[in-house]
Amino acid sequence: MTEEEKRVYMLLKAVIYHYHGLDELEKVDLEETANQYDAHEQLKWALDFIAKDYLTSFDRARTYLNEIIGDYTKVKRIELINMVWQANNLKGYVTEMEATAMLKLAKDWSVEKELIEMVLR
């Protein structure tokens, strides 16, 4: 995984988790993900990005991610949406706010249909 991919991965996961307020299980998952991908620097960057202005962090992240992810293959975009969906299911549920955030990103990335299919499974 490239440094850019690590940054995208950590920002995407962190911003969705922060969308409703980061809980303890999600903090642990972010740390485990950083360990798994040797992405501690990228996690710190993502958390700083969010902390800069918490209220606008999703919209800023959405803009940032759309600039990068537009060049990704459809398979890679689906993989990223699936990663976030699966990560949110770790706690046993996905909040309406998280689902809405994921739908917005999926629509931006032209993988809305694929996300809906994942949800229905």
Return the higher-pLDDT residue of 22 and 34: 34
CA proximity to 62, closest of 119, 24, 107, 26: 107
Torsion on CA atoms 95, 13, 62, 44, rounded to nearest 10: 130
pTM score, two decimals?
A: 0.88
Tell me, what's the pLDDT at 43? 97
Report pLDDT digits (tens) over 75-104: 999 999 998 888 888 878 888 888 888 999
For the chain, the straight-line distance linking the first and the last C-alpha, in angstroms and rounded, comes to 28
DSSP 39: -
